Amino acid sequence: MSDQTPDLKQQVELLKAQLAQAQKMTALGELVSTTTHEFNNVLMTIINYAKLGLRHKDDASRQKAFEKILGAGERAARITNSVLGMARNRSDRFEPADLRGLVEESLVLLEREFNKYRIHVDKQLNDVPEVIANANQIQQVLLNLLINARQAMQEGGHVLIKTEHNRETNTVDLIVRDSGGGIPADKLRRIFDPFFSTKSGPDETGKGGTGLGLASCRDIIEAHHGRIRVESAVGKGTAFTIKLPVVAKRVAPAPIVAAKPAIPSTISQP
Ligand SMILES: Nc1ncnc2c1ncn2[C@@H]1O[C@H](COP(=O)(O)OP(=O)(O)OP(=O)(O)O)[C@@H](O)[C@H]1O
Ligand SMILES: [Mg+2]
């Protein structure tokens, strides 16, 4: 063994920490760009329809104006809720997590982008048992998979996001399937390697091309004692499956039987 081994190990650890840090920016960057754009859109809608309502005094125009203003306000509220949800989750703790909520929050962040690229999202979010997870990290994984899916469908397409309880493996399976170009076998073996990318650089939305997305997904899922698998068919699409172990059910504590009535019938004053 050379003297350099501990040094190299340290460097690898340092790079891994930097990768994790850089990847955290995926979610944060998405959050900032979505909220800024969306709030601007919402404000424009509200201002323009308020003006329209003031200009046209007839009932039909005013009704339409109020409906548009309400719709814009509701969209803003959904974004705020999702931002607040993420802010609450900004801990590094592993705790029982609601996958369905995480999927919904991630989709709010990408809704605008998916509409722009004509990508239709189907959700099959079945009731699943809770998993122990770091919500931020799982959301990071979801965003990476969804952004990859979007980039694989330049001409538009379909994404299916599914959650299901796999009783055989006692895992919660999260599946992200796209109808994109697929991945040829020689590349499929390498997609989880750090820095493996077929993209020439960031696209017009500023995303993609470092080749770290899937490497960090795999690191995160392994830290959750889970598995990440891929299946792909050229010309048909790609499906990623994440398997997270189901939380072992805690035995409920035996009810405490009160020897005396819980609420005393007379209250004595000191
Ligand atoms: N859904 C998908 N459909 C087709 N190819 C995919 C898909 N997901 C990943 N790939 C392929 O795997 C490669 C590695 O993906 P990965 O997310 O790690 O890196 P990237 O998207 O190129 O860059 P970034 O680090 O910015 O995410 C991609 O460059 C692409 O060739
Ligand atoms: Mg990627």
Residue owning the nearest CA to atom 29 of ligand 1: 197
Separation of CA 215 and ligand 2 centre (Å): 9
Whole-number percent of the chain with pLDDT over 90 = 50
Q: Given this model, what pLDDT does residue 112 score?
A: 84
Domain hosting residue 99, numbered range: 95-245
The pLDDT of residue 119: 97
Say if residue 114 is in the same domain as residue 183: yes
The Cα–Cα gap between 91 and 148 comes to: 26
Using CA atoms, how far apart are residues 195 and 213, in angstroms rounded to an integer?
9
- Number of domains the chain is built from: 2
CA of 234 to the centre of ligand 1 (A): 14
pTM over 0.95: no
pLDDT of residue 223: 92
Tell me the best of 21, 197, 203 to mutate to test the pocket of ligand 1, counting ligand atoms within 8 Å of each CB and taking the most. 197
Tell me the CATH number at 53: 1.10.287
Dist. CA 84 → ligand 2 center (Å): 26
Residues of the chain with confidence (pLDDT) below 70: 1-4, 87-91, 249-270
Residue 137 sits in a domain of what CATH number? 3.30.565.10
Residues with CB under 6 A from ligand 1: 144, 148-149, 152, 178, 180-181, 183, 191, 196-199, 208-215, 238
Please check whether residue 124 lies inside any domain of the structure: yes
In a shared domain, residues 191 and 230:
yes
Alpha-carbon span 192 to 141, nearest angstrom: 13
pLDDT of residue 244: 95
**70 and 142 fall within a common domain:** no
Q: 116 and 49 in one domain? A: no
User: Which pLDDT belongs to residue 105?
Assistant: 84
pLDDT for 227 equals: 96
pLDDT in tens, 68-80: 999 999 988 888 8
Atom of ligand 1 nearest to the CA of 212: 25
Same domain, 106 and 47: no
pLDDT of residue 264: 40
- Report if residue 259 sits inside a domain: no
Q: Are residues 119 and 57 in the same domain?
A: no
Q: Whose CA is nearest to atom 5 of ligand 1?
A: 183
Task: Identify the pLDDT of residue 109.
Answer: 84
Does residue 258 lie within any of the structural domains?
no
- How far apart CA 108 and CA 223 sit, in angstroms, is 26
Which of residues 71, 88, 105 is at a domain's end?
Answer: 88
- Is the dihedral angle over the CA atoms 159, 124, 33, 244 positive or is it negative? negative
Answer with the one of 43, 69, 88 that is the final residue of a domain: 88
Q: Identify whether 130 is part of a domain.
A: yes
Q: Both 168 and 240 in a single domain?
A: yes
Of 132, 131, 74, 133, which Cα lies nearest the Cα of 108? 74
Q: How far is the CA of 227 from the centre of ligand 2 (A)?
A: 18
Q: How far is the CA of 85 from the centre of ligand 2 (A)?
A: 24
Give the closest residue (by CA) to ligand 1 atom 7: 148
Domain boundary among 88, 107, 132: 88
CA of 248 to the centre of ligand 2 (A): 33
Cα dist from 205 to 38, 43, 105, whole Å: 15, 22, 20
The per-residue pLDDT for 19 is 77
Residues 46 and 171 in one domain: no
